[in-house]
Amino acid sequence: MSSHKSSLSSSFHNGSSGGLSTTGGGGGGGGQSQSSTSTSNKMRIRAFPATMDEKYVNVIWSMLKNAIQEIQKKNNSGLSFEELYRNAYTMVLNKHGEKLYSGLKEVVTEHLINKVRKDVLDSLNNNFLSSLNQAWNDHQTAMVMIRDILMYMDRVYVQSFGVEPVYNLGLRLFRDTVVRYRLIKDHLRNTLLDMVNKERRGELTDRSAIKNACQMLMTLGIESRTVYYQDFEEPFLQQSAEFYRLESQNFLAENSASVYIRKCDERIREESERANHYLDKSTESRIVKVLENELITAHMKTIVEMENSGVYHMLKHDKHHDLNCMYKLFNRVDHGLDTIADCMSGYLREQGKNLVQQDEHESAKSSTTTTTNTTATATSSTTNATKTSDESKQQQQQQLNQQQKNPINFIQSLLDLKERFDYFLHVSFNDDKLFKKRINSDFEYFVNLNQRVPEYLSLFIDDKLKKGVKGLSEQEIDLVLDKSMVLFRYLQEKDVFERYYKQHLAKRLLLNKSLSDDSEKNMITKLKTECGCQFTSKLEGMFKDMTLSNSMMDEFKNSLQQNNSSLADLCGLDLFCRVLTTGFWPTQQTILPKCNLPLNARNAFDTFKRFYLSKHSGRQLTLQPGLGSADLNALFYTNQQQQQQTQTRKHILQVSTYQMVILMLFSSKERWTYEEIRQETDIPDKELMRAVQSLAMAKPTQRVLCKEPKQREILASDVFVVNDGFTSKLFRVKIGTVSANGPKAGGETDPERLETRMKVDDDRKHEIEAAIVRIMKARKKMQHNLLVTEVTNQLRPRFLPSPVIIKKRIESLIEREYLARTTDDMKMYTYVA
Grouping H, G, I as helix, E, B as strand and the rest as coil, residue 703 is coil
8 Å CB contact between 285 and 297: no
Asked if residue 226 lies in contact with residue 275, where contact means CB atoms within 8 angstroms, the answer is: no
pLDDT in tens, 183-209: 999 999 999 999 999 999 989 989 999
Q: Amino acid letter at 472?
A: L
Nearest to 738 by CA among 485, 299, 404: 404
pLDDT at 468 over 80: no
Average pLDDT over residues 258-281: 92
Least confident interval from 302-311, 532-541, 550-559, 561-570: 561-570
Give DSSP secondary structure letters for 428-479. Answer: ISTT-HHHHHHHHHHHHHHHTTSTTHHHHHHHHHHHIIIIITTT--HHHHHH
Output the CA–CA distances (angstroms, integers) from residue 133 to 137, 142, 214, in the order listed: 6, 14, 10
Question: What is the rounded average pLDDT of the residues 160-175?
Answer: 93
Quick check: 636 pLDDT over 90? no
Q: Are 813 and 772 in contact (CB under 8 A)?
A: yes
pLDDT at 45 (0 to 100): 47
User: Which residues make Cβ contacts (< 8 Å) with residue 136, sequence separation at least 6?
Assistant: 174, 212, 216
pLDDT tens, 201-250? 989 989 999 999 999 999 999 888 899 999 999 999 999 999 999 999 99
For the chain, what is the mean pLDDT? 82
Place 750 in a pLDDT band, splitting at 50, 70 and 90.
confident
In this prediction, residue 593 carries a pLDDT of 64
Other CB atoms within a 10 A radius of the CB of residue 748 amount to: 20
DSSP string, 773-790: HHHHHHHSEEEHHHHHHH
Q: What is the pLDDT of residue 16?
A: 31
Position 590 pLDDT exceeds 80: no
The dihedral over CA atoms of 267, 269, 270, 273, expressed in degrees to the nearest 10, equals 160
**Whether the Cβ atoms of residue 586 and residue 499 lie closer than 8 Å to each other:** yes
For residue 743, the Cα-to-chain-centroid distance in whole angstroms is 38
**Position with higher pLDDT, 509 vs 46:** 509
pLDDT for residue 591: 56
Please determine, for residue 419, whether its predicted confidence score (pLDDT) is greater than 70.
yes
pLDDT at 27 (0 to 100): 36
pLDDT band, very low/low/confident/very high, at 578 (cuts 50, 70, 90): confident
The confidence band for 568, taking pLDDT boundaries of 50, 70 and 90, is low
Euclidean distance between CA atoms 88 and 156, whole angstroms: 12
The percent of residues above 70 in pLDDT, for the chain, comes to: 83
Handedness of CA 725, 730, 733, 736 (dihedral sign): negative
Round to whole Å and give the CA distance between 45 and 38: 18
Cross-strand bridge partners of residue 783: 828
The dihedral through the CA atoms of 469, 471, 474, 475 has a sign that is negative
The torsion angles phi and psi of 365, rounded to 5 degrees, stand at: -65, -40
| Residue 500, number of CB atoms within 10 A of its CB | 24
Q: Is 720 helix (H, G, I), strand (E, B) or coil?
A: strand
What is residue 566's predicted lDDT score, i.e. its pLDDT? 54
pLDDT of residue 337: 94
| 603 burial type by CB count under 10 A (0-12 exposed, 13-18 middle, 19+ buried) | middle
Q: How confident is the model at residue 260 (pLDDT cuts 50, 70, 90)?
A: very high
| CA–CA dist 233, 239 (Å, integer) | 10
Going 454 to 458 to 461 to 463, the CA torsion angle's sign is negative
Average pLDDT over residues 659-680: 88
pLDDT recorded at residue 768? 92
CA atoms of 459 and 775, how far apart (whole Å): 36
- Give the closest residue to 532 by CA, choosing from 458, 540, 464: 540
* Residue of 658, 721, 735 lying closest to 689 (CA atoms): 658
Confidence of residue 515 (pLDDT cuts 50, 70, 90): confident
pLDDT of amino acid 17? 32
At 698 the pLDDT is 80
pLDDT level of residue 617 (50, 70, 90 thresholds): confident
- Determine what percent of the chain falls in helix, strand and coil, rounding each to the nearest 5: 65, 5, 25
| 373, pLDDT greater than 50 | no
Residue 378, pLDDT above cutoff 50: no
Query: 596: pLDDT confidence band, cut at 50, 70 and 90?
Result: confident
Nearest to 749 by CA among 588, 540, 638: 588
Is the distance from CB of 514 to CB of 520 less than 8 angstroms?
Answer: yes
Q: Is residue 819 over pLDDT 60? A: yes
User: If you write DSSP's letter for every residue of 360-417 in order, what string do you get?
Assistant: HHHHHHHHHHHHHHHHHHHHS-STTHHHHHHHHHHHHHHHHHHHHHHHHHHHHHHHHH
The model's pLDDT over 113-156, given as tens digits with 9 standing for 90+, comes to 999 999 999 999 888 999 999 999 999 999 999 999 999 999 99
Higher pLDDT, 130 or 42: 130
